[in-house]
Amino acid sequence: MEEKGIPKEFHSFETNAPFEQCIECEKYLLDDDTEYIIEKAVKNYEGYSAKDIVFDYAICMDCAETMRKEISKESWESMMRYFQENIDIQSRLEMHNQSPEEGLKSCMIKKTQLNDCGEYQIYAHCKGNKINMENPPYMISGEVMEELLPLLSDKTIDEMNGFLDKHFSPDPSLMEPTPPRLILV
């Protein structure tokens, strides 16, 4: 497995350092053999010159798999079909030999440049203090999230919202009616 250091884009917003613990079970993540996923949701403002981290976390593979099992079979199949139909596999394969940051420059599906996205989410598969380049980091635009949400069952959306409610306490003044966030563990 090819590995590269974890770029700052995937450091914790709270600590400005690499994530050390799984958000669910608090397992230490920086041991050499511990695999985990980092997810970060970002909202751009003011003509996209300023960014706001909506949420960020790291989750160990065991907890990620437990969460994945909470997604309904129909929702999972719909999401996988969407990705299979929309990902340029050749471009994705070429990313294995690039820097981890390369996959964050544009949306993996729509090819929208990062700076042109009002919202986006970035993902990285890590092992210890390295990025796993066998499954390179990627970015998904808000437009893709909007296309994925209707594919999900109400039960799956409730599970995802429950995860966010459990782990993130937003400032009450920020609480506006917004569509649910999509978590792609």
| pLDDT on residue 98 | 78
pTM for the model: 0.83
Q: For residue range 18-32, what is the model confidence (pLDDT) as tens digits?
A: 999 999 999 999 998
Assess contact for 121 and 41: CB atoms under 8 A.
yes
Calculate the alpha carbon distances from 71 to 37, 78, 98, 155 in Å: 17, 11, 32, 8
Tokens of 151: 């594919």
Residue 182: per-residue pLDDT: 59
Helix then strand then coil, in percent of the chain rounded to 5, is 40, 25, 35
59 DSSP β-pair partners: 37
Would you kindly state where each structural domain of the chain is located, as residue ranges? 3-167
pLDDT at 181: 57
pLDDT digits (tens, 9 = 90+) for 148-163: 999 988 888 888 878 7
Q: Which residues of the chain have pLDDT under 50?
A: 1, 48
